[in-house]
Amino acid sequence: MKKICILDFGSGNVGSVNNLIESLNYECKISNDPEIIEKSTHIILPGVGAFGAAIKKVKEKIPN
């Protein structure tokens, strides 16, 4: 079973993405918890127009 995580890192409309995924009958979690992210089979970065800027925000929220 697919475990989808929408990264909540302060960019993009996570609610709209979550509604779309759930309308396709997939279970989805919105999180920035490293444990949930690691257990996910698919990760969505919502509203990302520039991947570099998005990764910078992710690293700020989720330190190594």
Query: Rounded to an integer, what distance in angstroms lies between the CA atom of residue 50 and that of residue 52?
Result: 6
Which of 13-17, 25-29, 35-39, 50-54 has the lowest average pLDDT?
Answer: 50-54
pLDDT at residue 52 is higher than 90: no
Q: How does 16-45 read in b/e, with b if 16+ C-beta sit within 10 Å?
A: ebbeebeeeeeebbbbbeeeeeeebeeebb
pTM over the 0.75 mark: no
Mean of per-residue pLDDT scores for the chain = 83
Please report which confidence band the pLDDT of residue 12 belongs to, taking 50, 70 and 90 as the band edges: low
Residues 5 and 28 sit within 8 Å (Cβ to Cβ): yes
